[in-house]
């Protein structure tokens, strides 16, 4: 087999490239160079997990040597399979979503699917045209961030007949499959922890996207049930930033000079709050306790180390991928997985 590879590569690959470049290379040429059948080459592209590692390496070497590019459009037309999965996320600018997307993409790739990524920002209105664009590519499944969609889009997605997994949220009425956690319950948990600390004058520095507002609702309603009704709030459009966190601290102190605890909808906002507090010589957590959300990489090394809410984004990505793979393999159940969350207490609480 190795002798065949050694003798085939010098003759076949240059001849094809000289005559018509990569466009003239066929799947049968790759099979001949790798010493396998054309169906095995096809499996390398469409289901690499079913191919022995040695064979996989041999075929990929032949593909690189010949400059072969598979015609996935032709394959999709003949088999009605695109091998594409559409993934819509707000941003990959920080690790909150990028870790989820990376694990999701890696898991789908090992199963023979390619992920087409679209960035929606934080507007529901932007999600509709973006999905129109990606659905025109005929994906076999869709990964969505959140459960807040326009009624028109929700109705369309229920009718398109392909597996859909919503993530990073919880709902009693998902479109199809759901992998996430309750933002409302996170707000409840943080409020309860603040109350246990003795907080009487809490504040909220938050983005106003749907998921952040769900955390706000849990936070404010839990405080109100315990007799704390005066919450100083600064709400701003996403994306969040350290600069907005600094401004947020100044704003809530203007509303109530006695603020003694602040819940931030992101770690970036919380870092800004802590940074501005240090500039103003405000003791954290002695005078004001601070809690963020996301457990981004810098939180443990901040000074002081930031208390935050941790969500396992990698688990969300892996679980969402398995849901889609199982459904594409013939499973019919509507999976609903709550991955939960945890409060990571450090030096700011």
Which domains are seen in the chain, by residue range? Answer: 2-70 (1.10.260.40), 82-181+314-339 (3.40.50.2300), 183-310 (3.40.50.2300)
pLDDT, mean over the chain: 86
Q: Model confidence over 154-164: pLDDT tens digits?
A: 887 888 888 99
Q: Residue 88 pLDDT > 70, yes or no?
A: yes
Mean per-residue pLDDT, 10-39: 65
Q: Count the neighbouring beta carbons within 10 Å of the beta carbon of residue 280.
A: 12
Q: Residue 4 pLDDT > 80, yes or no?
A: no
pTM strictly above 0.95: no
Distance between CA atoms of 306 and 328, rounded to whole angstroms?
41
134-143, 181-190, 234-243, 250-259: least confident range:
134-143
Specify which of 33-37, 121-125, 129-133 reaches the highest per-range mean pLDDT. Answer: 33-37
6-15, 143-152, 277-286: least confident range:
6-15
Peptide bond into 304 cis (omega under 30): yes
CA angle at residue 276 from 206 to 243, to 5 degrees?
55
Query: Higher model confidence: residue 123 or residue 191?
Result: 191
pLDDT band at 186 (very low <50, low <70, confident <90, very high): very high
SS3 145: strand
Q: How confident is the model at residue 123, as a pLDDT? A: 64
Q: Model confidence over 55-67: pLDDT tens digits?
A: 999 998 888 888 7
Residues near 152 by Cβ (< 8 Å), separated by ≥ 6? 128
Mean per-residue pLDDT, 82-90: 88
């Amino acid at each position: 087999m190795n002798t065949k590879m050694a003798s085939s590569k010098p003759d076949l690959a240059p001849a094809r490239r000289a005559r018509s470049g990569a466009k003239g290379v066929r799947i049968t040429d790759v099979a001949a160079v790798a010493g396998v059948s054309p169906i095995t080459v096809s499996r390398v592209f469409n289901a690499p997990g079913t191919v022995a590692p040695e064979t996989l390496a041999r075929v990929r070497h032949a593909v690189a040597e010949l400059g072969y590019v598979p015609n996935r459009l032709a394959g999709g037309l003949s088999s009605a399979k695109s091998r594409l999965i559409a993934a819509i996320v707000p941003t990959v600018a920080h690790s909150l979503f990028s870790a989820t997307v990376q694990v999701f993409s890696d898991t789908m790739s090992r199963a023979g699917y390619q992920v087409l990524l679209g960035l929606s920002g934080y507007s529901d209105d932007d999600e509709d045209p973006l999905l129109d664009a990606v659905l025109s590519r005929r994906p076999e499944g869709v990964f969505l961030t959140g459960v807040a969609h326009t009624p028109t889009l929700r109705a369309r997605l229920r009718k398109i007949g392909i597996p859909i997994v919503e993530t990073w949220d919880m709902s009693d009425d998902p479109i199809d499959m759901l992998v996430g956690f309750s933002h409302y319950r996170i707000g409840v948990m943080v409020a309860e922890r603040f109350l246990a600390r003795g907080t009487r004058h809490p504040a909220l520095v938050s983005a106003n996207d749907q998921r952040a507002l769900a955390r706000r609702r849990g936070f404010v309603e839990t405080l109100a049930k315990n007799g704390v009704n005066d919450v100083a709030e600064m709400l701003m459009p996403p994306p969040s930033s350290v600069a907005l966190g600094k401004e947020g601290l100044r704003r809530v102190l203007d509303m109530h000079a006695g603020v003694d605890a602040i819940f931030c909808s992101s770690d970036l906002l919380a870092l800004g709050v802590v940074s501005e507090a240090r500039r103003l010589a405000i003791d954290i957590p002695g005078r004001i306790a601070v809690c963020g959300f996301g457990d981004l990489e810098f939180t443990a090394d901040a000074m002081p180390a930031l208390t935050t809410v941790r969500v396992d984004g990698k688990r969300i990505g892996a679980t969402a991928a398995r849901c889609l793979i199982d459904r594409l393999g013939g499973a019919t159940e509507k999976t609903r997985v709550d991955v939960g969350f945890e409060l990571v207490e450090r030096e700011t609480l």
